[in-house]
Homo-oligomer: A and B are copies of this chain.
């Protein structure tokens, strides 16, 4: 199978840095294109946790990583490899363009003349909103919002405003980064904001832990129940819209067909 060369997707890799979304974790959740690009590259750069998931499948590659909060350094590493002529892929879990490294790579290229000779190619993957949705039913089957509760890079007032607007617009919602060691209680705070913005305590909700990895946990509940849940940082939370319902432990948001 040599799909990419047929379609011109990855014919020239030398000065191109591929920013690749690898999906939620397991290899089969990756696109064929992402898989083939990783097979064809020399160096795979990424966050340590995701690099470890990939290593067994790409044993002949060179791997490089930086810890969390060292994303700028990680991206600069990619430019350095590419400028040395190495075929370089920067991997992001989920989709490279959803809270991923794609925008940072463009910003770095724009601000550094020495990176001008590189090309950036973003390769989409399935983001946790959608991979998680498939495991919990169909919670995002109508208009939806994706909001991160992490205030590391975003002022909390902006997050709060977005939660309010999501409820006022009656969107289904996927919440990323609902918790971390330093942000316990953020999910509860978000639920309180949504209740105050008009969501019913009976609003149908749910969450998925460890999407597409070992020990996946899927839970459906009401918004009032969600407020009491302790979730970990590998969790994606779903808030239905006002018409969503739970059926056989699945969270479903209708598209609107008459049956």
Residues of A near any B CB (own CB < 8 A): 3-4, 7, 9, 21, 23, 26-33, 35-36, 71-72, 95-100, 102-104, 106-108, 110-111, 122-127, 130-131, 133-135, 137-148, 153-154, 158-159, 161-162, 164-166, 168-171, 247-248, 250, 252-259
Contacts and interface: CB of A to CB of B under 8 A. Distances in A.
Contact of A161 (B124, B138, B169): B169
A56 to B, nearest CB: 12
A257 B71 contact: yes
A119 B105 CA distance: 42
Contacts of A95: 126, 130, 133-134
B110 A247 contact: yes
A170 B163 CA distance: 11
B162 A103 contact: no
Nearest to A106: B252
Contacts of A32: 27-32, 35
Given A99-B142, A133-B97, A28 B31 contact: yes
A95 B130 CA distance: 7
Secondary structure at the A interface, as helix, strand, loop or mixed, is mixed
Q: Quick one: which of A131, A133, A135, A143 has the most chain B CB within 10 A?
A: A143
A137 B165 CA distance: 26
Given A124-B126, A141-B98, A72 B165 contact: no
A144 B145 contact: yes
A134 B26 contact: no
Contacts of A147: 143
B122 A137 contact: yes
Contacts of A158: 170
A37 to B, nearest CB: 10
Nearest to A100: B141
Nearest to A128: B124
Contacts of A171: 145, 162, 165
Contact of A28 (B33, B131, B146): B33
B256 A153 contact: yes
28 contacts: A3-B26, A7-B28, A21-B130, A28-B36, A29-B33, A32-B35, A71-B257, A72-B258, A95-B126, A97-B134, A99-B141, A99-B142, A100-B138, A102-B141, A103-B141, A103-B253, A107-B259, A111-B259, A122-B134, A143-B145, A143-B147, A143-B162, A145-B145, A162-B170, A164-B169, A165-B168, A165-B169, A166-B169
B23 A97 contact: no
